[in-house]
Structure 1
């Protein structure tokens, strides 16, 4: 480097406020220290060495003031005030506005771009939304590294603030993908919307061997994404519609919402409690469901919260859904107690909204020959449709809301979904309402509005993507609530053989809860901690998808084929 260049670098460094201002502050501090040594007679110390003088100047300028050294003359008081005011002036006129604030503003304007050196075999998530929030939570819990790429500086800053790796910019930009270390990545998830995903998938497939997962909003885009180079194409709306359709079929064909066969004659299902039911306002213990019907309440859904083994003092209200286990006959009796009407006179369904989710619900109903009426603003080539707004009382009445047994609300707007739920519940207090929530934050509100079963698009999509990243595929699992799943595990050959539930520590280690044990035709709901797990036992376990995976791995459990 030439002498001229060295001089230029030195001049630039000296001109920097992070050199100039500290040097000035240091000079002022040194001057005040020397002055204190000269004026020491005006303080209670009499004489002061350099260290004592520096100590007093620092605690005075920073307004700490321990009080061990103090002025005893008028001149000492005046000098003390000058030093204190100088310290305040330096803090508020130099340090904060000219040194600290620029650093903060620079960070807010330009989030940091450097990723951790150890980052490899990670997941690059392109595009942030509520579904990605669920995915981030699932991957973080499994200890899988990730990088989020988004164009919003605010989103990237927030992610970085919470400890996640994130980059700001256009995800289809090859240089940005290299910054995200695409060549070392295990998966790239394209979640930028159908219009931007194509460019992203094309770019990623040309510069990396990583597996590419494309999230599509419209099912029509599936073939295009595969042609562009996507290895896996996922439609959260399709999976959501499939699950809502299965829930609708359960409510129509089994008489009670969400029936699950646990083996033998033992079943588990959800029983909504309707507003005019005499159970409303009673405690679970006072309802005496087991004495009257023989079935057991193993859990409840209340305002979207899944409560396993609820306490007897839990009060039943019109937002409560009982999750009960028992034989078919016991559940039918319990359904009568809970106010679930027999659907013999009403085996049809209303589908409110006929987008991708609504069409998938319709396909499920068509497969089983269940008649339905669609409410949508657009005219479709359907056997039975009401052209209109599902949030209109007139449209719901015209579609047969008073006589149908089930309505599936699949609109693309949560506020309109809530209004439809409120109207449907008001027009038919005993109708089974199955609803789509576009964000997880709306789930509880929809339950309070009167829905019996709610699934959120963001939760479903996030869990699907997490399962693909972990296992390479997503297997259908019985859903008890928006993110709570039910699974059956064989005890035989596992680490749980001949151990008690307390000894297993399942809830502490994995977050899962055993809500029932089946041995042959015998079913024991809500087993206690001292219950011993025999080789012939089949466990009925609830938890999130990742918790169930952890449980299966932790104890070497096997599921029924």
Structure 2
């Protein structure tokens, strides 16, 4: 934003303007009053005469601490004159010093602050432009950086742009500019961009897309709150429109309607509708298994289960209260609401599920939903279509299945029969409300399964400590989804984990020979499994070779996975 506009915005502030006007008026009144005082008092006290101009000059010199030269006019002899001069000096200097911080200092501070760049210096192409610096785009950046693509972050607010510069330093090019200006999009080289991701409100997204759509052939993804605006954004020119709230509501709906939720995260024989493996009769799978109290594995450790020796299934990691434990033999116990992710052949995993993780659960479920906003409505719709009996607690709900009230109120939860519920979803758009609802629900029904929504990263750990079994961070989920759209042609992200860790699938494209041990040494990534024409291996040893065309399942952080992709693509 130009400096003149920032200054105008500052002056529009009511309290700031009132303070500046007060001290300015006081200064003018003092100058006039002291000038007249000297003009009339000096002839009486010192038997000398000053002109109005000389009196004003003396007052201004005194009040601005420039100094005065009254001896030039006459020697001061009367003690009353000296007292008058001291009074003028003290009060005048005080007023001037009050005006400096009130009016001048903010402006000086404004113009001396660092200014983010308004244009990218040098040539750039094939990059990803991300519009807006917020919690969602932070997740987008983390996901895309793993693929090694150049990123340009465009932010209209100077302070947020400076925050982005401090966060990413040289890894992301940050530009500050207005989204609806043609020159801004020229400054970020939109014509040469590969993909543009916009994370703003719906109106800003629409006007932004309409303004720059003809300038670029890049794919455009719009991340919005309300999916009902999707058709308008598509009409404006967006190629993809995603809503984190819609995505989160569907995930919560699935988790709340199925007990247990056993997800096939990855299957090598089926990837985006096409076969990538000749071993379709017994493909390699990556499976997410929740721990239920009635299953045989409950309370036992990974060491006791000895999954790899008994079933040929590799435990990749255990998920406990928002934290994951990647291991190679650690003594990790499986408790209620934990989850384990395993890799193995289809037949081996099926035998494992039947013998270790089979459990009994209620054929009919009862769910409580706290909040009937955008997310709550999607959850209820999914539960209702799945045949789950659900009741909703919300202050404004008028539906037959709703209870008017606040889920932070114990009486509302009791009215909803929380003690009989199998699951509660804390879906209010308020982290503190969800934290307190979680505390109440856990105390009223210790065995209930609690799913909770979080809008801010710092709330995730608090929700787990309050008793939640599964917490979904809304901005992170939306950002990861958007990042996956950009990098899907290079790598498939199967699981996003805290701290930038991920489980990915990457096809070997290069021809240079590499063994598993060599790749691990060069990248630091762990190879979970390999599926290809010549072999199919779970937990491969270090001498196992990775051939061209192999599907490689790997785990690591962004830096290690970036190195892994470069190696698997190298000739």
| Category of TM-score, reference length = shorter chain | 0.5 to 0.7
SS at match of 1:408: strand
Compared CA separation, residues 377 and 506, structure 1 to 2 (3 A) = farther
Distance 1:458 1:232 in 2: 17
Residue 417 of structure 2 is aligned to residue 400 of structure 1: yes
Q: Which residue of 2 aligns with 1:427?
A: 444
Compared CA separation, residues 396 and 524, structure 1 to 2 (3 A) = farther
Compared CA separation, residues 244 and 455, structure 1 to 2 (3 A) = same
Task: Give the alignment partner of residue 200 of structure 2, picking from 179, 192, 195.
Answer: 192
- TM-superposed CA distance for 1:486, in Å, is 5.5
Compared CA separation, residues 184 and 329, structure 1 to 2 (3 A) = closer
Deviates more, 1:454-463 or 1:203-212: 203-212
Residue 393 of structure 2 is aligned to residue 375 of structure 1: yes
CA deviation vs aligned residue, 1:44-91 (integer Å, no higher than 9, x gap):
xxxxxxxxxxxxxxxxxxxxxxxxxxxxxxxxxxxxxxxxxxxxxxxx
Aligned length: 438
- TM-superposed CA distance for 1:450, in Å, is 2.5
C-alpha contact 2:289 2:339 (8 A) present in aligned 1: yes
Question: What's the C-alpha RMSD, in Å, of the aligned pairs?
Answer: 4.7
C-alpha contact 2:297 2:357 (8 A) present in aligned 1: no
SS at match of 1:217: coil
CA deviation vs aligned residue, 1:187-218 (integer Å, no higher than 9, x gap):
33222212322221221225444433222111
C-alpha contact 1:299 1:308 (8 A) present in aligned 2: yes
Alignment of 1:9-158 (within 5 A): 106=111, 108-158=113-163
Q: Which residue of 1 aligns with 2:368?
A: 350
C-alpha contact 2:301 2:331 (8 A) present in aligned 1: yes
C-alpha contact 1:159 1:165 (8 A) present in aligned 2: no
Gaps of 5+ in 2: 1-106, 268-280
C-alpha contact 1:373 1:384 (8 A) present in aligned 2: yes
C-alpha contact 2:220 2:239 (8 A) present in aligned 1: yes
Distance 2:568 2:116 in 1: 43
Distance 1:228 1:159 in 2: 28
TM-score (norm 1): 0.63
C-alpha contact 1:463 1:545 (8 A) present in aligned 2: no
Compared CA separation, residues 529 and 416, structure 1 to 2 (3 A) = farther
C-alpha contact 2:144 2:483 (8 A) present in aligned 1: yes
- TM-superposed CA distance for 1:256, in Å, is 5.4
Residue 249 of structure 2 is aligned to residue 241 of structure 1: yes
Distance 1:424 1:406 in 2: 10
SS at match of 1:395: helix
TM-score (norm 2): 0.62
Distance 1:136 1:406 in 2: 34
Residue 435 of structure 2 is aligned to residue 418 of structure 1: yes
Compared CA separation, residues 231 and 314, structure 1 to 2 (3 A) = closer
Residue 452 of structure 2 is aligned to residue 447 of structure 1: no
Residue 485 of structure 2 is aligned to residue 464 of structure 1: no
SS at match of 2:393: strand
Distance 1:484 1:205 in 2: 34
SS at match of 2:362: helix
Residue 216 of structure 2 is aligned to residue 203 of structure 1: no
- TM-superposed CA distance for 1:384, in Å, is 2.3
Task: Give the alignment partner of residue 188 of structure 2, picking from 158, 180, 186.
Answer: 180
Q: Which residue of 2 aligns with 1:436?
A: 453
SS at match of 2:238: coil
SS at match of 2:378: helix
CA deviation vs aligned residue, 1:211-244 (integer Å, no higher than 9, x gap):
3322211112112212223232221222222233
C-alpha contact 1:486 1:541 (8 A) present in aligned 2: yes
C-alpha contact 2:507 2:551 (8 A) present in aligned 1: yes
- TM-superposed CA distance for 1:296, in Å, is 7.2
Distance 1:185 1:518 in 2: 34
Q: Which residue of 2 aligns with 1:513?
A: 526
CA deviation vs aligned residue, 1:85-118 (integer Å, no higher than 9, x gap):
xxxxxxxxxxxxxxxxx99975625323342212
- TM-superposed CA distance for 1:132, in Å, is 0.9
Q: Which residue of 1 aligns with 2:81?
A: none
- TM-superposed CA distance for 1:130, in Å, is 0.9
Distance 1:198 1:524 in 2: 48
Distance 1:554 1:473 in 2: 13
Distance 2:314 2:378 in 1: 34
C-alpha contact 2:255 2:261 (8 A) present in aligned 1: no
C-alpha contact 2:528 2:540 (8 A) present in aligned 1: yes
Distance 1:514 1:127 in 2: 35
CA deviation vs aligned residue, 1:101-148 (integer Å, no higher than 9, x gap):
x99975625323342212233322221101111222233332322222
SS at match of 2:418: coil
- TM-superposed CA distance for 1:478, in Å, is 5.5
C-alpha contact 2:526 2:555 (8 A) present in aligned 1: yes
CA deviation vs aligned residue, 1:260-311 (integer Å, no higher than 9, x gap):
687869884444588xx9988x9765x66769x9887542223423222255
- TM-superposed CA distance for 1:398, in Å, is 2.9
SS at match of 1:465: helix
C-alpha contact 2:368 2:416 (8 A) present in aligned 1: yes
Compared CA separation, residues 518 and 158, structure 1 to 2 (3 A) = closer
Distance 1:427 1:385 in 2: 20
- TM-superposed CA distance for 1:487, in Å, is 6.3
Distance 1:478 1:472 in 2: 14
SS at match of 1:402: helix
Compared CA separation, residues 452 and 536, structure 1 to 2 (3 A) = farther
Compared CA separation, residues 450 and 515, structure 1 to 2 (3 A) = farther
SS at match of 2:420: coil
